[in-house]
Amino acid sequence: MHRRTALSVSAALLVAAPLLSACSGEVRPGTAAVVGGERITTSAVQAQVNAVRAAQNRSEQGATLIANTPQLERTKLGRMIQLRVLEQAADDAGISVTTKEIEDARAARQGKAAGDLEKLALLNRDPLAPGQIDEDLRFSLLLDKLNERYGEDKVYGPLSKAAQTLHIEVNPRFGAWDGERIGLGAVDTPWIVQRTRPAQPPVGA
């Protein structure tokens, strides 16, 4: 797995600030987010969106699928950032995912699917184009391995630490990074909230 060098907060600030901002108060054109000093471009986000929309349009349920995913740009960017958080946390823990593991996971998912895997992928909360399925499997495998290493009730800590190390900045057009949920603004990210977020006591308790 590609290893990412952990940046100090001060170093990340020096690197990320000119990447995200063209000048004070202005977002550099073409930047959706900066994660660990690396840009996620708006064109990269749009490419993922376009691939999904093309697959949706080929579906008999295309109109419904498109109507049910109105914030696809935000969803895709949030997922791209979360993958980098997982990669950082896995790198910190010495965890990796092999091509063979992804192939085996794909075969297992195909075996469980009661239909065409690529068609079913469009029905996900985060819909997937055919070319995005393997990356989603890698995402799931990394998260599963981190859960195995730390326990589902404790993995939030390493994920939060990894996110802080990466010093994530997001173009306001897409919202803002939410360090509490380890997700992008109002984008629904149940993979963190439901599986790894420590239980919170009721307000006033």
In the chain the domains, ranked by start, together with CATH numbers, are: 22-193 (1.10.4030)
In the block, tokens 């969106």 appear at 49
Q: What is the predicted pLDDT for the residue at 179?
A: 85
Residue 67: what are its φ and ψ, rounded to 5°? -65, -30
Q: What is the predicted pLDDT for the residue at 102?
A: 97
Q: What is the predicted pLDDT for the residue at 7?
A: 31
Q: What is the predicted pLDDT for the residue at 125?
A: 86
Q: What is the predicted pLDDT for the residue at 28?
A: 75
SS3 track for the chain: CCCCCCCCHHHHHHHHHHHHEEECCEECCCEEEEECCEEEEHHHHHHHHHHHHHHHHHCCCHHHHHHCCCCHHHHHHHHHHHHHHHHHHHHHHCCCCCHHHHHHHHHHHHHHCCCCHHHHHCCCCCCCCHHHHHHHHHHHHHHHHHHHHHCCCCCHHHHHHHHHHHCCEECHHHCCEECCCCEECCCCCHHHHCCCCCCCCCCCC
Question: Is this model's pTM higher than 0.75 or not?
Answer: yes
Residue ranges of the chain with per-residue pLDDT less than 70: 1-27, 186-205
Q: What is the predicted pLDDT for the residue at 116?
A: 87
Q: What is the predicted pLDDT for the residue at 202?
A: 36
Q: What is the predicted pLDDT for the residue at 112?
A: 83
